[in-house]
Amino acid sequence: MARGSAGSGRRVALFRSADPAARSGPQDGRRSHTPLVNINPFTPDPVLVQSSAGQRIARKRSHWNDSCGEDMDASDAEMEEEEIVPPTKRLTMMESNMMSRYASEFHELEKIGSGEFGSVFKCVKRLDGCIYAIKRSKKPLAGSVDEQNALREVYAHAVLGQHPHVVRYYSAWAEDDHMLIQNEYCNGGTLSDVVSENYRRMHFLSEMELKDLLLQVARGLKYIHSTALVHMDIKPSNIFISRKTAVDECDEDEEDGLSTSVIYKIGDLGHVTRVNNPQVEEGDSRFLANEVLQEDYSNLTKADVFALALTVISASGAEPLPTNGEKWHEIRHGRLPPVPQVLSQEFLGLLKLMIHPDPTRRPSASELIRHPVLLTAARMSADQLRVELNAEKFKNALLQKELKKAQMAKAAAEEKVLSSDRVLTRSTTLAGAAGGRASRLIGKKMNRSVSLTIY
């Protein structure tokens, strides 16, 4: 449910003047532009500079690129101000329609997901041959609440840039009343897929794996929160999994010493809002903190922490979380749902602290990644992987030694065969020569032998 409207200083607006005189050219010797673009409400405050007259907004090009996480050439770094007249309305889906970029630039492989907002397709980009996930919204979109959510997701992705635990964003565009978002393709699906499959097989993530999950998502949340944004919809279906290839498995994350073949990434930023002056769109009620339901937005970052704890509980094999009712309220009073496996008291204590009824008592994302329980898990995981790596290196050394011995034996055998061939050839040559000499001696100038027998 949407709460409130855009703040007075952060309104999403179309940069197009309704005054014809504004299009006639510069009025005071300075360049005046009216490009058809939106203001990103999630850019840092210093990026938006309000003029003294209160009529124009100036952006410096170098700041524009930095705030949206895009690369910039040296020639673009000029500190040139562009005076832009804010229009009466913003750019909508219908106004940016064009020839289908989706059909011309991408080859659709398969549908990999579907939700209330739209569907996600696995696609190959025709130009670079790489695989991407294309999220396509449902119709109708223009002028609806879904359009606001779609734009919010694009704005958040563009500002957040790149982080190993946030799904990477590449581009977005609108066509045929649809919003399309090109994101990184995560080859492991979502955590929700893993939870469902594990629940069906009655095989659950171990405590070490659960700690790994908690640690990685907490790092993603720390990054999001550091930009003064909150996710507001953390749940298994919004945690994406990227499985490393064998070549990458030996890489080690220097931030916390954790090396793993499974990388968890936060995605679906349609509910992202600012910590200050938030516009809260309530997420899934199963993971919603009670204070948000009561419209207390003073600790929104801790609402993400609350949802993360229940996400880990879901991954542990617990029964599906309630959407309302008595059990729903029990969780909001700090009681953990039962899990079908034995977890350490230290880990359960941390999860219980993360759903504390008082949000100020919950640890922050920064505190989570430094928590002794998770640091121990990170060190243990790294040590275990080092042992496995050393074992593989030892096996490889043995194989190299055996291969060298085999090569030497083969070379010796080949040398023996060659030596035998040389001896045989020499013997044959010598025998032939001796036979020739004997034939020359017999019947020629040699005296015949005479045998005398005396009786």
- Any idea what DSSP says for residue 3? -
Annotated binding site for Mg(2+): 238, 268
Region class of 399: left (phi > 0), else alpha (psi between -120 and 50), else beta: alpha
- Residue-wise pLDDT for 162-191, tens only, equals 899 999 999 999 888 888 999 999 999 999
Architecture of domain 191-384: Orthogonal Bundle (1.10)
User: 430 falls in which pLDDT band (50, 70, 90)?
Assistant: low
**Amino acid code (one letter) for 203:** H
- C-alpha span between 384 and 97 (Å, rounded): 53
Q: Partners of 32 in the beta sheet?
A: 83
Which of the residues 146, 177, 212, 233 is marked catalytic? 233
pLDDT for 147 equals 79
Residue 356 sits at the vertex; the CA angle it makes with 355 and 357, to the nearest 5 degrees, is 110
Mean pLDDT score of the chain: 76
Radius of gyration of the chain, Cα coordinates, nearest whole angstrom: 36
Q: How many CA atoms lie within 13 A of 146 on its CB side?
A: 16
- C-alpha span between 211 and 315 (Å, rounded): 11
User: 438 falls in which pLDDT band (50, 70, 90)?
Assistant: low
Annotated binding site for ATP: 112-120, 135
Q: 135: how many CB neighbours lie within 10 A of its CB?
A: 24
Give the pairing type, strands 32-33 and 81-84: parallel
Name which residue leads in pLDDT, 80 or 260. 260
Closest CA relative to residue 317, chosen from 219, 166, 200: 200
- Residue-wise pLDDT for 397-423, tens only, equals 777 787 888 888 888 888 887 777 777
- C-alpha span between 8 and 448 (Å, rounded): 136
Burial class of residue 450 (count of CB atoms within 10 Å of its CB; 0-12, 13-18, 19+) = exposed
- C-alpha span between 231 and 239 (Å, rounded): 12
- C-alpha span between 226 and 160 (Å, rounded): 10
How far is Cα of residue 254 from the mean position of the Cα atoms in its chain? Answer: 17
Phi, psi of 267 (to 5 degrees): -135, -170
Q: If residue 178 lies in a helix (H) or strand (E), which one and from where to where? A: strand 178-184
**Per-residue pLDDT at 16 exceeds 70:** no
Residue with tokens 């032939």: 432
**Amino acid code (one letter) for 82:** E
What average pLDDT score do residues 305-313 get?
97
- Residue-wise pLDDT for 335-390, tens only, equals 999 998 999 999 999 999 999 999 999 999 999 999 999 986 556 555 555 555 66
SS3 state at 166:
strand
Separation of first and last alpha carbons in the chain: 143
Burial class of residue 125 (count of CB atoms within 10 Å of its CB; 0-12, 13-18, 19+) = middle
Residue with tokens 């171990």: 206
- Please report the DSSP string for 318-353 in residue order: PPPPPSSSHHHHHHHTTPPPP-SS---HHHHHHHHH
CB-based burial, 343-357: b 16+ in 10 Å, e otherwise: beeebbebbebbbbe
- C-alpha span between 246 and 323 (Å, rounded): 40
107 with 82: CB under 8 angstroms? no
Report yes or no on whether pTM surpasses 0.75.
no
SS3 state at 206:
coil
Closest CA relative to residue 135, chosen from 223, 240, 232, 43: 240
256 catalytic, yes or no? no
Domain limits, the chain: 20-91, 95-184, 191-384
Q: Per this entry, what is the length of the chain?
A: 455
Q: Is the peptide bond before 41 cis (omega within 30 degrees of 0)?
A: no
Name which residue leads in pLDDT, 310 or 17. 310
Q: Which residues make Cβ contacts (< 8 Å) with residue 66, sequence separation at least 6? A: 72
Classify domain 95-184 at the CATH topology level: Phosphorylase Kinase; domain 1 (3.30.200)
